[in-house]
Amino acid sequence: MTDALPKSLLNGAIVPVVDARISPLDRGFLFGDGIYEVVPVYAGKPLRPDAHFDRLQDGLTALEIANPYSRTRWAALLRELIAANGGGDMGVYLEVSRGAGKGRDFLPESDMQPTVFGFCFRLAPPRPELLARGISAATLEDIRWQRCDIKSVALVGPVMLKIEAKRLGADEAILVRGERLAEGSSSAVFVVKDGRIATPPASHERLPSITRGVVGDVLDALGLPLDVREVGRDELLTADEIWIASSTREALPVTVLDGKAVGQGRPGSIWRRVFEEFQALKQREAG
């Protein structure tokens, strides 16, 4: 689904992905000591690149890794990487790790040179049958760490949760912390009840999702109010509609949760309006 396109970015140069090499002593490999971003690109143009660069900077600041590039340089490299892969609709993965040390000390050496790697993958529009049917999700207890606001490359928690969701026959894990909704294992979550739309606020328990912001703007454009507040597990289980949102999946309706129908068991009417306005926003901003 997300096979890498041929050209990658390695420390400022465009190189074939099959030739990109980094040290096995890289701390991204040894410790998951790095930050990443996934930027959606439509018709060769990134959607809200500054929001992604801001979040990348926030993550680097939290990890005390110096950003190797200025904003202008990042934007130029992103353009180069997209062009090298022929433009069109794609996702761009960008990673900055702390770099390779002389060995494996937990405490980073003082003069480290960050490693920058980027690659692209095709972003196909959601398949019509997926839009007609929706996706399934399973609620799982959030086993990740206490700083989920940092887009860290240490993703073994979500990997375990995705495997468990698949075992349960679900496409996505919706994570709860006790009685509270956290977020999806790789998505933001919205719930709708009696026409009111809610999504949890930013906190250390969840990633500040860029697509969540896009959906917020879509709702504004539609004149639909959004309640940003904590959402209970019970609200999730009794919602009329649930949507997940991410840079690679836009906003998708969850129609089955824990094996039971969400609302009517079909993509909801509010989601459909959001989907259509989302397409219009893409056209306006990036298409």
Query: What binding mask, one character per residue, do residues 133-172 give for ligand PDD by CB under 6 A, x or -?
Result: ----------------------------------------
Residue 20 lies near ligand PDD (rule: CB under 6 A) = no
Q: Which stretch binds ligand PDD (CB under 6 A): 81-89, 206-214, 261-269, 272-280?
A: 206-214
Asked whether position 183 contacts ligand PDD by CB under 6 A, the answer is: yes
Residues 107-136 that bind ligand PDD (CB under 6 A): none
Please choose, out of 57-65, 95-103, 179-187, 267-275, the segment that lies near ligand PDD by the rule CB under 6 A. Answer: 179-187
The verdict on 248 binding ligand PDD (CB under 6 A) reads yes
User: Which of 259, 3, 210 lies closest to 122, judged by CA?
Assistant: 3
Task: Examine residue 199 and tell whether it contacts ligand PDD (CB under 6 A).
Answer: no
Q: Which residue out of 7, 45, 102, 151 is catalytically annotated?
A: 151
The reply to whether 162 belongs to the active site is: no
Which CB, 100 or 185, lies closer to ligand PDD?
185
For ligand PDD, the closer of residues 112 and 153 by Cβ is 153
Q: CB-wise, 149 or 269, nearer to ligand PDD?
A: 149
Indicate which single residue of 136, 187, 199, 255 sits in contact with ligand PDD (rule: CB under 6 A): 187
Strands 135-141 and 172-177 come out as parallel
Question: What residues are annotated to the active site?
Answer: 151
